[in-house]
């Protein structure tokens, strides 16, 4: 097969490309230039898409003896990931930019371009497994659960999965680093990048404030009593406890959390942790790597990239999904993704729109 190996400049994508070459494929390395103002050097382990990263990827490609190209997708990334991230927070939701990047960049823009150029598939260094099942290819969790990235790949559809390779899914991260060292890759000990890649210092609130401006408003409790002030409701998410700076603590001293964000009135509502619990999740924009479930089915629901899996009853209704959790779960925010599992198999994903109690 003719395969594009997405090479970020990190250790995972380096070993991914090497394994595709070892498997006998005709491999071309591609580094995606996603930043419109790439720095020369990394500012931290969170950053990505720097000139340094492109250079690291090129050195690995040279060592493997494969062609290497840089594809400029900065404008597409800005529109589909960064601008989406801003607008979602502005609307009071909590997005996951890694899912959007996989959906709209790596397995849409990149894959579409690769196929148009005559390639058969794209290979990435994600920790997940593809298994040939009775209904075709299936997406499964990685062997290394500490690094499993099947959650952020839950946005893939069956056609995209058919043109994808994840050659690291059967290996643990320490073994990947060991293999990289044995292959002589200079990136063997390079630190992992972390979410959110385009906010290098990790200060999401400060980053959003620079783009949306300060917007003073009230923080109120569940009864509507003003207990504090904020500089922008967009900077808060359901379940948040730190950074609230409340002026009026509860008489009983109980901790308070964000239980609702109301962008229309620029209001943040706080309450005790018992008010965070939800039983039912409503979601939209369903994506299915295989056949969608029919009727009510029993599945596991994961609500965060490295979060717990909760048993649930699920019903798919066209583009919408209703997830009824067996046990009340805390801190579920609109805008997050719910990814559904049957054992280790990813059944599908959807974006949470609202939650409710029984």
Whether 304 is in a domain gets the answer yes
Sorted by sequence, the CB contacts under 8 Å of residue 151 that are 6+ apart come out as: 302, 304, 305, 306, 337, 339
- The answer to whether 344 touches 141, Cβ cutoff 8 Å, is yes
* Catalytic status, residue 49: no
Domain termination site, one of 254, 272, 290: 272
Same domain as 95, residue 229:
no
Residues 281 and 337 in one domain: yes
CA angle (101 as vertex; 96, 103 as ends), nearest 5: 100
Highest mean pLDDT pick, 253-262, 271-280, 341-350? 341-350
At residue 42, does pLDDT exceed 80?
no
Q: Is the dihedral of CA 354, 355, 356, 358 positive or negative?
A: positive
**pLDDT tens figures, 324-347:** 999 999 989 999 999 999 999 999
Domain shared by 76 and 92, yes or no: yes
40: pLDDT confidence band, cut at 50, 70 and 90?
very low
Q: Let me know whether 48 and 11 are in one domain.
A: yes
Which of 272, 287, 316 is a domain's end point?
272
pTM metric for this prediction? 0.91
Q: Please tell me the distance from the alpha carbon of residue 322 to that of residue 75, in angstroms, as a whole number.
A: 35
Strands in 164-165's sheet, in edge-to-edge order, are 68-72, 26-33, 2-6, 121-123, 164-165
CATH, residue 288 = 2.40.30.10
Catalytic annotation present for 101: yes
Assigned domain for 199 exists: no
- For residue 218, the domain's CATH number is 2.30.30
Q: Residue 71 belongs to what domain range?
A: 2-125+167-182
Q: What is the residue-wise DSSP string for 140-171? A: EE-S-TTT--TGGGTT--HHHHHTEE-TTTTS
pLDDT given at position 39: 53
Q: Same structural domain for residues 43 and 76?
A: yes
Catalytic residue among 16, 48, 98, 101: 101
Instruction: Let me know how long the chain is.
Output: 358
Split into its structural domains, the chain has a count of 3
pLDDT in tens, 196-234: 888 877 889 999 999 999 999 999 999 999 999 999 999
CATH number at residue 65: 3.40.50.620
């Amino acid at each position: 097969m003719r395969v594009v190996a997405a090479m970020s400049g990190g250790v995972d994508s380096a070993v991914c490309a090497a394994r595709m070459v070892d498997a006998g494929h005709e491999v071309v390395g591609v580094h995606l230039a996603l930043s419109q103002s790439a720095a020369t050097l990394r500012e931290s382990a969170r950053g990505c898409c720097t000139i340094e990263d492109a250079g690291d990827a090129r050195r690995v490609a040279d060592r493997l003896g494969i062609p290497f190209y840089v594809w400029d997708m900065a404008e597409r990334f800005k529109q589909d990931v960064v601008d989406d991230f801003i607008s979602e927070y502005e609307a009071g939701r909590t997005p996951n930019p890694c899912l959007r990047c996989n959906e709209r960049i790596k397995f849409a823009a990149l894959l579409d371009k690769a196929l148009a150029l005559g390639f058969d598939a794209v290979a990435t260094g994600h920790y997940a497994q593809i298994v040939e099942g009775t209904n075709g290819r299936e997406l499964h969790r990685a062997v290394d659960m500490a690094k499993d990235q099947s959650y952020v790949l839950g946005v893939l559809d069956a056609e995209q999965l058919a043109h994808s390779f994840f050659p690291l899914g059967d290996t643990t991260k320490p073994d990947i680093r060991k293999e990289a060292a044995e292959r002589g890759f200079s990136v063997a000990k390079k630190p992992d990048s972390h979410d959110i890649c385009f906010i290098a210092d990790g200060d999401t609130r400060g980053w959003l404030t620079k783009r949306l401006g300060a917007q003073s408003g009230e923080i109120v409790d569940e009864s509507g009593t003003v207990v504090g002030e904020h500089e922008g409701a967009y900077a808060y998410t359901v379940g948040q406890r730190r950074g609230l700076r409340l002026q009026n603590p509860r008489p009983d001293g109980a901790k308070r959390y964000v239980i609702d964000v109301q962008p229309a009135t620029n209001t943040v509502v706080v309450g005790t942790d018992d008010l965070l619990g939800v039983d039912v999740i409503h979601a939209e924009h369903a994506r299915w790597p295989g056949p969608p479930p029919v009727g009510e089915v029993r599945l596991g629901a994961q609500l965060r990239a490295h979060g717990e899996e909760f048993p649930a009853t699920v019903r798919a209704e066209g583009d919408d999904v209703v997830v009824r959790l067996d046990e009340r779960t805390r801190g579920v925010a609109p805008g997050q993704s719910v990814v559904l599992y049957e054992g280790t198999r990813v059944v599908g994903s959807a974006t949470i729109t609202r939650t409710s109690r029984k």
